[in-house]
Structure 1
């Protein structure tokens, strides 16, 4: 009973917090929480690849950026776009590019796979950066935020910060639930087996390449969902969303939180956003705020050195034994 309560307690508590916090927080803290939630969705999408399947990708930001650009480019210029339609478009465009990239990159392994995914991400980056397709270096603006309307009445308006938070929170919970279901399914167990010993799984009759491709496409689609949230939140997208810096940052997030655990991805997102905010605030760290990238790097190195299994290890160390 204690183990069951521990397993379901933190997620249930998190859902309650996500539902109540928008009513209690100031606009600044609402924006901070929204950044945490969107990064957590992005991190969970990569966790499926790295933590579950053992595929380390340095091009995951391509799907994130494509989802964001699809949201803006397919939105009406002078009216609110359909929230479900734009969300589906972001997921679909990201999934299609993930299918293309995965079908080619999964022919390689190890460091070669890392470099090929990076190359495809940089290719997508330069398409948006160097052409007029996505506004070039200036990016694109979302003139009117998407809404979910029924009978002419807006049920969800993403221009309202509280409603945006509830939407993002619901999508985070849905992403967590989907990945938890995948991990418990036969498909998820096959992915775990591929991570441990792909050759043995292939000898047992599993079409490992198809399994990895399916995981790659699902992860890409979920990254596109995170891109949709960022586009709806900020009302602006630019090519830097597809850069290798973004891919490296989200990889750092899941390592910081702890690979192999969904809670680790979320905990890493919370910690990463809070560290960036605290270390760049002059009122807290003084002149060091001008060099927050340096202090952030040193802090994360210290965390990883002291907690090689991630921050989630602090929680699991207190987990009751069955």
Structure 2
């Protein structure tokens, strides 16, 4: 992971504006994927409304920014994260009283409610969305109107979120979440009140998704209701499944793989007119990856080692030199 983050640090020195913008967008999606990984991979809660928290963080960033002046990151960023976390607290306090498919549908319903609030009311500018006129800054030290500054700020947020979740999942709290994922009934039998643990994880997940939404809004300077649609919730769920559930690095790998595959199949220089149907190529690639790697892309090195070991063992045994006796 240290090498991975070092490569991300060096990319702006070898890439143009398009590459910087693309990797910046993927890093934001990676933060978004990490937020859902905490729920699905860490706690066993399949949430289909994660885009609502992402969109709330984005809309708060735009709605609270002055029209003709630059807002301070010191209060705008915490406000966006707090608003997303607060909505996650409300949604979680109600939806966590259900289980299974009912939990999935309730989280989807709350996300659709948030979607229609910004889509059908003047608050969010309707279907046209709203623009962020002046991007926030921090006392002239961090000016996010610069693509390079925005890139490194996003990278810093990604590293901090990854380290925070890695430490959290290794703590007593994280062990309790792992126990809930494996067998919630047994955790209750040992004396754990599982509801507060799940609610805390749900709220924290929503707050991290709000951070990703804030970064996305600042990067593009524009938000619209599609940021809260169920399509985005489904896409981020595919990211963590593609990368490998139960691994934080799997969420990173899945986000990068999903976004890069999307850009690859959209390339008209490679696919010509077929690039209009990029969803087909992306879908077939994901199906193939899940079929061949059921544990996600994070398991690819282990599978390669296993196959290589099998080949070497077969070659060694063919001349009898490594065959066991008896």
Which of residues 110, 126, 149 in structure 1 aligns to 2:100? 110
Q: Of residues 172, 176, 193 in structure 2, which corresponds to 1:190?
A: 176
Q: Decide which of 152, 163, 167 is 2:153's aligned counterpart.
A: 167
Most deviating of 63-72 and 11-20: 11-20
2: distance between equivalents of 1:85 and 1:317? 47
For the residues of structure 2 that align with 1:191 and 1:288, how far apart are their CA atoms? Answer: 45
Residue aligning to 1:84: 74
Q: CA deviation at 1:25?
A: 1.3
Q: What's the CA shift for 1:23?
A: 2.6
Structure 1's unaligned 5+ residue stretches are 1-10
TM-score (norm 1): 0.93
Residue 47 of structure 2: aligned partner: 57
> What CA distance in whole angstroms lies between the structure 2 residues aligned with 1:164 and 1:202?
45
1:125 maps to 2:96: no
What is aligned with 2:253?
Answer: 267
Greater CA drift, 206-215 or 294-303: 294-303
Match in the other structure for 2:13: 23
Larger Rg: 2
Is residue 18–residue 166 contact of structure 1 (8 Å, CA) maintained in 2?
Answer: no
Answer yes or no: is the 8 Å Cα contact 1:67–1:226 preserved in 2: yes
Q: What's the CA shift string for 1:156-192, capped at 9, x where partnerless?
A: 1111111111000000000000110111000000000
State the secondary structure of the residue aligned to 1:241. Answer: helix
Q: What's the CA shift string for 1:51-85, capped at 9, x where partnerless?
A: 00000010000000000000000001101111231
Residue matched to 2:269: 283
Q: Aligned partners of 1:132 and 1:267: how far apart in 2?
A: 38
- Say which SS state the counterpart of residue 302 (structure 1) adopts: helix
User: C-alpha separation between the residues in 2 aligned to 1:156 and 1:24?
Assistant: 22
Structure 2 match to 1:75: 65
Gaps of 5+ in 2: 307-326
TM (normalized to structure 2)?
0.92
Q: Distance in 1 between the 2:222 and 2:63 partners?
A: 11
